[in-house]
Amino acid sequence: MANNKDFIVKNAVEVGGSTKVTVGDAAAAGSYVKAYDVANASYDSVSFSVSSQESGVTALSFKPDGTVVYVVGTTNDTVYQYSLSTAWDLSSASYGSVNFYVAGQEASPTGLMFKSDGTKMYIVGISSDTIYQYSLSTAWNVSTASYDSVSFSVSSQDTSPRNIQFKSDGTKLYVTGYTNDTIYQYSLSTAYDLSTASYDSVSLSVTSQDTTPTGIFFKSDGTKMYMVGQTNKNIFQYTLSTAWDLSTASYDSVSFSFATQDNAPCSIAFSNSGTKMYMLGQASPAIYQYSTVSAYTITWPSSIEWAGGVSPSAPANGETDLFTITTDDGGTTYTGVKTADNLS
């Protein structure tokens, strides 16, 4: 989608013989919705237990199309793969006995991430404080994984790394540090190649929100980061004024509690559209599904006269509608774009 901002006319008043139009961010109506709405998230009453495979879960990761979810844990030191017959719907999940053992590299895996095309997998753990890189000969099938003999230590920053996330193009890497309650930022001069990684000397302390951070997730455009912690059992939302640059991050004072579902949340993920959120809980252990979308009503001011006498309806999901407002006294013409925020 081309534009994340939503513009409507807020008011139009006569000033000195000219019509002045002011515009601003608009809320949405019907199928025109706001996604990634953590503050107003709601539990879908949908969960999927992974206890038959792993009792000490630590991290989850989704295939980008929502048809596969992966879980790793410290009991069996194994990555387990689950299929979803309906994308992003945990009620359709099943285990197909597909897995990969990582103890040869890491005996206590705590973080899991994949390259965007599914041909690489990355594991971080607390026994060595190191990230390990694997190749998958069949994309997204962990049973075809093999160790690349490539690793990167983060022990100089934190001796208890708990989760990892990549920038969408693979040139940045982020690590959740449990010891120092801090998120750390790294650069990769060759995308997704750990042998080219280096620390940016950029970090973000999250101590004011939670003193036991366990998981992070970035919005695909790098302007939002989400952190989950076990002290307060919440997900917390941050804004990065410069995309993917942690030095510009600030807490939004937005959070959501997972405590009713699990008192030890350890990992989080969102669907590509941002309308669904997932939490992996250690107490159960299970994955829980939430909705993170809100609908709003657009109110156009009565001072605007629409052709045919009817104001336009909200655009359909993913649609961008263009509106041109022209004054009838020779004043400035205003053109604005209204789009379904964050939907694909």
Q: What is the mean pLDDT of residues 310-331?
A: 54
According to the model, what pLDDT value does residue 294 have?
73
The first and second tokens of residue 84, run together, are: 């979803």
Residues 127, 194, 141, 94, CA torsion sign = positive
Tokens representing residue 271 in the block: 């669907």
Please state, in angstroms and rounded to a whole number, the distance separating the CA atoms of residues 2 and 255. Answer: 28
DSSP class of residue 223? Answer: S
- Quick one: average pLDDT of 82-94? 98
Q: Which tens digits make up the pLDDT trace of 214-244? A: 999 999 999 999 999 999 999 999 999 999 9
Confidence of residue 290 (pLDDT cuts 50, 70, 90): very high
Q: Are 44 and 291 in contact (CB under 8 A)?
A: yes
Mean pLDDT of the chain: 84
HSE (CB half, 13 Å, CA atoms) of 140? 13
The alpha carbon of 235 is separated from its chain's Cα centroid by a whole number of angstroms, namely: 11
Residue that the structure tokens 């309806």 belong to: 313
Percent of the chain with pLDDT over 70: 76
Kind of pairing, strands 320-325 and 334-339? antiparallel
Residue 93 pLDDT greater than 70, yes or no: yes
If pLDDT is split at 50, 70 and 90, which confidence band does 293 have? confident
pLDDT value of residue 229: 97
**Would you say residue 296 has pLDDT above 70?**
no
Residues 273-289 have a mean pLDDT of 96
**pLDDT surpassing 70 at residue 263:** yes
pLDDT value at residue 272: 92
pTM (whole model) above 0.75: yes
R_g over Cα of the chain: 23
Give me the pLDDT at residue 28, please: 31
pLDDT digits (tens, 9 = 90+) for 9-23: 333 333 333 333 333
The reported pLDDT for the residue numbered 69 is 98
Mean pLDDT of 88-113: 98
Share of the chain above pLDDT 90, in %: 73
In whole angstroms, give the CA distance from residue 70 to residue 295.
Answer: 31
- The bridge status of strand 68-73 relative to strand 78-84 is antiparallel
Span 86-95, average pLDDT: 98
Encoded tokens for 202? 């950029």
- CA 150 to chain centroid, in Å, comes to 27
Q: Which of 127-131, 151-155, 176-180, 302-306 has the lowest mean pLDDT?
A: 302-306
16, exposed or middle or buried, with CB in 10 Å at 0-12, 13-18, 19+?
Answer: exposed
Contact 256, 265 (CB under 8 A): no
The yes-or-no verdict on residue 331 having pLDDT over 90 is no
**DSSP character for 4?**
-
DSSP string, 233-285: -EEEEEEESSTT-GGGEEEEEEEEE-TTT-SSEEEEEE-TTSSEEEEEETTTT
Closest CA to 1 of 221, 237, 277, 270: 221
Q: Which of 164-178, 210-224, 302-316 has the lowest mean pLDDT?
A: 302-316
Q: Kindly tell me if the per-residue pLDDT of 299 is higher than 80.
A: no
Using a 10 angstrom Cβ sphere, with 0-12 exposed, 13-18 middle and 19 or more buried, the burial of residue 111 is buried
pLDDT (0 to 100) of residue 239: 95
Q: How far apart are the first and last CA of the chain?
A: 6
Mean pLDDT of 11-40: 48
